[in-house]
Amino acid sequence: MTNNDFPAIPEPNEFLLETPVHSRFKNDSTKIWELKNFKGPLDSYCIECGEQSIFNRFGPTPSQLIAGIAPVYGGFHSPHDEDKVQTFSIEFTCSRNEDHRAMFHFRVDRNSICKFGEFPSRAERFSAGVRKYREILAHEQISLQLAQELYAQGIGAGSFVYLRRIFENVIVAKVAARN
Taking only the tens place, the pLDDT of each residue in 65-85 is: 777 654 444 444 444 455 678
At which of 95, 120, 145 does a domain end? 120
The tally of domains found in the chain comes to: 2
Q: Which residues, 6+ apart, have CB-to-CB distance to 145 below 8 Å?
A: none
Does the pTM surpass 0.75? The reply is no
Q: Are residues 170 and 104 in the same domain?
A: no
Task: Look up the domain containing 115 and give its range.
Answer: 1-120
Query: Residue 119, SS3?
Result: strand
Q: Are residues 46 and 115 in the same domain?
A: yes
Q: Are residues 92 and 30 in the same domain?
A: yes
Taking only the tens place, the pLDDT of each residue in 5-54 is: 899 999 999 999 888 888 899 999 899 999 999 987 999 888 888 888 99
Q: Are residues 99 and 49 in the same domain?
A: yes
Q: Are residues 142 and 54 in the same domain?
A: no
Taking only the tens place, the pLDDT of each residue in 104-148 is: 999 999 899 999 998 988 777 766 666 666 777 777 777 777 777
At which of 120, 140, 162 does a domain end? 120
Query: Residue 120, SS3?
Result: coil
Partners of 102 in the β-ladder: 92
